[in-house]
Amino acid sequence: MSDPREPLRLSADRDLCAGAGMCALTAPEVFDQDDEEGLVVLLHPAPAPEHRAAARMAVGLCPAEAIALNSRDATDS
Amino acid sequence: MSRPPCPRRRTGCPLDPPAGLTALSDKPLRRMRYADGHMGWLVTGHATARAILADPRFSSRYELLHLPVPMEGMVSGELPPAPVGDIIGLDAPEHTRYRRLLTGKFTVRRMRQLTERVEQLTAECLDAMEQAGPTADLVEAFAQPVPALMICELLGVPYADRERFQGQVATIFDQTADAEAKGEAYTALLQYLGELVLAKRAEPTDDLLSDLTTSDLTDEELAGIGGLLLAAGLDTTANMLGLGTFALLSNPEQLDALRADPALAEQTVEELLRYLSVADPLPRSALEDVEVEGQVIRAGETVTISVQATNRDPHKFPDPDRLDIHRKATGHLAFGHGAHQCLGQQLARVEMTVAFPALFARFPTLRLAVPPQEVPLRDRSNIYGVINLPVTWDKE
Ligand code: HEM
Ligand code: SF4
């Protein structure tokens, strides 16, 4: 299990995004979709601890591998 | 060695996949002979299906696919390319261009804003059903009209015109209809939408089709996209509502749990999506040699993803054949995966999350009016479901 206190850094690639909305559905505090194209908008690249589990789940659910998680290099944030 | 064709006849419980499919769960990828003799593949493992659906080396283009089930009257195995606007049969970059024009109209937020409207439409259907009761065909009274009214309103298609499109859509999804009948139905549907697009251009109204006339899409593209959205909106959620009600009535302890706690509606919907997997199967064709699970899928070979089987993969969903509204069913592939993942999924979720609890709240004594084995099934359609669902309830 990952440590919930471990910092978490998210990135989103709108070129890959399929606009399916799984991220905004799963972690609405962290991800949104813009109104024009419905593509991912990253609200919080370093989400608060209480939103990290949902953010991780969204990364796993994204159908287009458009959002990524790299908790290693997040110490600088 | 001769390989068996894709198992598809449901023989046991109508809510379970065919016996031949679940038995394959320990073999995520295996060879399968197609209707036209093509030697391709069948995927029944969840992780394998996800990987293939997300991989751009697997194409959705119809002209590259072999069909797992034969289509009546079709010569050889050759499918024509996707008609204009049918984005399901396109790859990037053509697919991406169309899809980007549409995704903004189907965001989580926009679809949630429709909640109240879905509630009203649902209540109206339930009122009519109650007045005509205490018996009904749940499909005709409820499962069909709720999503049909909503998609018509969203697109700007007059519901009163439904004689001009409902039968056509049914024929397009019907596996027993021959290629010619399907072609005629599709032409008629496009003709109808073509007329509508012209009307919207002349006199825009507040709806999605009118909205899209301001994009750079041609009339032909607009009619094709409108046809796809209308067909997808009419015949998918409707089957989830009909079959889902059948499933809940057949699992009274699950239904009681939902009734006791309507906050379970969202996860009930996910579990029903997983358990029923009505849109099945999903075909893809390898554009180059790809190694998957230690085997090489050669360029040109078709891979059929069995959504039903992957959604009952015990490695992903423990005790998969149990309908359990308390489980975490997220991650199911009922809406597909990858670049083509269902565009209408957030609409479908809102519709179902509203409709199921409203139905069971209105009719606390709702039950089947025929023995379960007499419920007629759509086992020869691309979208599985019940044809009718005779129900009854106690009048106050
Ligand atoms: C519960 C109901 C529904 C189910 C189970 C379902 C299932 C699916 C699946 C599995 C796909 C992927 C096809 C593939 O990868 O080849 C898909 C695509 C699609 N769905 Fe749905 N769908 C549902 C409701 C809807 C609704 C209400 C709409 C209405 C707008 C819709 C519109 C579409 C469109 C346009 C696509 C094509 C997306 C693309 O190719 O990029 N669906 N659906
Ligand atoms: S889940 Fe993935 S594809 Fe869908 S909107 Fe979010 S980033 Fe885009």
Query: For B116-156, what is each residue's pLDDT tens digit?
Result: 999 999 999 999 999 998 999 999 999 999 999 999 999 99
Q: Is the ipTM of this complex over 0.90?
A: no
Which CATH number does the domain B19-392 belong to among 3.40.50.970, 3.40.30.10, 1.10.630.10, 3.30.1220.10? 1.10.630.10
Q: Which amino acid is at B387?
A: I
* Residue B103 backbone zone (phi > 0: left; psi -120 to 50: alpha; other: beta): alpha
Backbone phi and psi for residue B70, each to the nearest 5 degrees, phi listed first: -70, 150
Residue B279 tokens, joined: 């849109």
The pLDDT tens digits of the residues spanning B195-250 come to 999 999 999 999 999 999 999 999 999 999 999 999 999 989 999 999 999 999 99
Task: Provide the 3-class DSSP secondary structure of residue B38.
Answer: coil
Grade residue B382 by pLDDT with cuts at 50, 70 and 90.
confident
State if residue A17 touches ligand 2 by the CB under 6 angstroms criterion: yes
Distance, in Å, from the CA atom of B77 to the CA atom of B69, rounded to the nearest integer, reads 10
Q: Taking CB atoms and an 8 Å limit, are A64 and B341 in contact across chains?
A: yes
Closest residue on chain B to A18 (Cα): B339
* Strand, helix or coil for residue B252: helix
What is the count of residue pairs from A and B with beta carbons less than 8 Å apart?
73
| Cβ of residue B234 lying under 6 Å from some atom of ligand 1 | no
Q: What is the DSSP code string of B52-106? A: HHT-TTEE--GGG---SS--TT--TTPPPPPPTT-GGG--TTHHHHHHHHHHGGG
Contacts of A38 in chain B (CB under 8 A): 102-107
The nearest CA of chain A is from the CA of B256 a distance in Å of 26
Q: Which numbered ligand comes closest to the C-alpha of B237? A: 1
What are the sequence ranges of the domains in chain A? Answer: 9-75
Segment A2-27, tens digit of pLDDT? 555 567 899 999 999 999 999 999 99
Predicted TM-score of the model (pTM): 0.93
DSSP-assigned beta bridge partners for residue B290: B297
Taking only the tens place, the pLDDT of each residue in B107-127 is 999 999 999 999 999 999 999
Q: Is 60 exceeded by the pLDDT of residue B76?
A: no
B245 near B143, Cβ under 8 Å? yes
Question: What's the CA gap between A40 and A33, in Å, rounded?
Answer: 5
Give Cβ neighbours of residue B94 (< 8 Å, ≥ 6 apart): none
pLDDT of residue B81: 86
Residue A74 has pLDDT above 90, yes or no: no
Q: At B182, is the pLDDT very low, low, confident or very high (cuts 50, 70, 90)?
A: confident
Token pair 């598809």 in the structure block, residue: B8
- Length of chain A counted residue by residue: 77
The closest of B118, B60, B114 to B89, measured between CA atoms, is B60
Within B143-236, residue ranges assigned H as helices are: 145-155, 166-173, 179-202, 208-212, 219-235
Residue in chain A nearest B49 by alpha carbon: A63
Q: Token match 């609405």: residue?
A: A28
Q: Is the predicted pLDDT of residue B67 greater than 60, yes or no?
A: yes
Backbone Cα Rg of chain B = 21
Return the best residue to mutate from A23, A36, A41 for the ligand 2 pocket (most ligand atoms within 8 A of CB): A23
Give the gyration radius of chain A's Cα atoms. 12
Distance CA B49, CA B335 (A): 12
Nearest residue, CB atoms, A20 vs list B110, B331, B345: B345
Structure tokens at A13: 């690639």
How many angstroms separate the CA of residue B277 from the nearest CA in chain A?
Answer: 17
Write the CATH number of the domain with boundaries A9-75. Answer: 3.30.70.20
Task: Tell which residue, A3, A19, A34, A6, has the closest CA to residue A67.
Answer: A19
The alpha-carbon gap from B54 to the nearest alpha carbon of chain A, in Å, equals 6
CA of B344 to the centre of ligand 1 (A): 6
User: Which bin fits B305, alpha (ψ -120 to 50), beta or left (φ > 0)?
Assistant: beta
Domain-by-domain residue ranges, chain B? 19-392
The 8-class DSSP code of residue B161 comes to G
- List the beta bridge partners of residue B297: B290
State pLDDT tens for residues B161-175: 988 888 888 888 777
Closest-lying ligand 1 atom to the alpha carbon of residue B147: 27
Determine the pLDDT at residue A71: 55
pLDDT (tens digit per residue) in A30-48: 999 998 899 999 999 999 9
